[in-house]
Structure 1
Amino acid sequence: MHKRNEMMDRPVVSEEVRDFLRTAQKQLKGTLGEIEKEANEKRVPVIPHETVTFFVWLFGQIKPKEVLEIGTAIGFSAGLMAEYMDEEGKITTIDRNPTMIEKAKANFKTLEIEDKVTLLEGQANEWLEKLDDSKYDFIFMDSAKAKYYDFFPECMRVLKQNGVLAVDDVLQGGTILEEDSEIPRRRRKIHKKLNAFLEIVMDHPALDTTLLPLGDGLLLITKKEDFDFSFMKTQVTEDKS
């Protein structure tokens, strides 16, 4: 079972604008469109349609050939990227949830993209450490929000120079700017880790970063030059000790 994401119902723009972005823009056709429709009807947390249309546009501009995804879920976003990337392109996607993995595999088979997608089953941090340096043109991170800070150093290591990292759901339904004391205790760790993550990446000299109010906030980071972000991993270790 997937966990219901309460932030799905807290738009970071007005509901009228959000609904316009989701209904007025070009809709997906065929099997991929059916998967999107079913996911939305069943409240499965896939990327919203305004992010879908943005990815279609973005992939037409950057034309990635090697894509890494952290957080497969039911495989919808991987299916979308597979359809709009280079014909010879490949996707590596990571997930640890057995139920989601089963659904993703079924969708990859239905979409006939099994030859383009490699699904790595298990913990993302363990898999990330095994991946080659500067391998990927594009990385999409849509996993546990409290882990974005932890995963970021390895993402920068495996991302090519001038490659793009897209990070989903960083605005937490617009609550990201609230004080810690105003955040429910169950979400306080996510709130702190996301703010610490944003503080580092939003104005870092090695990065070009922009934050778009699509869905629950889509952060785009271009790796302009190599930089060792391993100090963030050290900080995570110290926090646990």
Structure 2
Amino acid sequence: MDRYTSKTEQYIESLIRPRTGTAAEIEVAAKADRVPIMEPAGMEAILQLLSLQNPESVLEIGTAIGYSSLRFAEQIPDARIVTIERDTERIRQAVAYHKQAGLLDRIVIIEGDALETGDTVKSHGPFDALFIDAAKGQYSRFFELYEPMVRPGGVIFSDNILFKGFVAGEKEPEKKRIKTMVSRLQNFNTGIMEDDRFHSMIYPVGDGLMVSIKKHDESK
């Protein structure tokens, strides 16, 4: 895959156990149809952290064909997953996979643009964890809109935060659209890392993962 890489990363990913069942089926379909899903190392990192946190509710921005929401639901058997997707066909695929895995009763898909579904999502909250994995150029707006719905002590995961090595300057983007997106991701990273309301760190796993823990408001 065309992204920042190294022998160390390849070695780590070679040790990750192959997925089975519906998750493995989704991986095959995603590769065939060029649907972006989370990198294996990044996904395993999130699953470990979610296992430690044991959240009751998780909000995902960007369902795609249901891979991450399925993995979350399988990893945390008691959690309720709410996920947002605007593509009707991808929703249809996600529902089919969730049904196949017996998870329909635990995963709620909200159809619409994540920048416009705030009121609907709020009725399902608050949430213990938030996973942002949608339009990279809109991360700041997603974060601003949905972090208030995360409980103090909750965790916010932002994926693709290093975007194929462009964000850290390992490669230089040529297309104007990519340059704009990279600039926005850089601004997002700086803004969140400097925000005292959160304890944040960027981990170079997968395509880059930011983990932000929402601090308790000590003034209350």
**Cα pair distance change 1:226/1:99, threshold 3 Å:** farther
Moved more, 37-46 or 203-212: 37-46
**Cα pair distance change 1:132/1:153, threshold 3 Å:** farther
Give the conservation status (yes or no) of the 8 Å contact 1:207–1:225: no
Match of 2:155 in 1: 164
**Cα pair distance change 1:187/1:226, threshold 3 Å:** farther
**Cα pair distance change 1:226/1:148, threshold 3 Å:** farther
Match of 2:80 in 1: 90
Give the conservation status (yes or no) of the 8 Å contact 2:167–2:186: yes
1:183 shift after superposition: 4.8
Give the conservation status (yes or no) of the 8 Å contact 2:42–2:207: no
- Identity in percent: 30
Match of 2:110 in 1: 120
TM-score (norm 2): 0.89
For the residues of structure 1 that align with 2:41 and 2:19, how far apart are their CA atoms?
A: 12
Cα deviation code 1:92-143 (max 9, x no counterpart):
0001012211211111111111100110001101112441597101111000
**Cα pair distance change 1:56/1:151, threshold 3 Å:** closer
From the two aligned structures, give the one with the greater helix fraction: 1
Question: What secondary structure does 2:116 align onto?
Answer: helix
Runs of 5+ unmatched residues, structure 2 = none
Cα deviation code 1:118-177 (max 9, x no counterpart):
100011011124415971011110000011011111221000001000000011211113
Match of 2:13 in 1: 22
Question: What secondary structure does 2:153 align onto?
Answer: strand
Moved more, 142-151 or 98-107: 98-107
**Cα pair distance change 1:182/1:40, threshold 3 Å:** closer
For the residues of structure 1 that align with 2:173 and 2:83, how far apart are their CA atoms?
A: 35
Structure 2 residue 158 is matched with structure 1 residue 191 = no
**Cα pair distance change 1:183/1:176, threshold 3 Å:** farther
Match of 2:3 in 1: 10
Q: 1:174 aligns with which of 165, 175, 179?
A: 165
| One-letter identity of the residue aligned with 1:219 | M
TM-score (norm 1): 0.82
Structure 2 residue 25 is matched with structure 1 residue 34 = yes
1:22 shift after superposition: 2.0
Give the conservation status (yes or no) of the 8 Å contact 1:134–1:160: no
Number of residue pairs aligned between Structure 1 and Structure 2: 216
Match of 2:40 in 1: 49
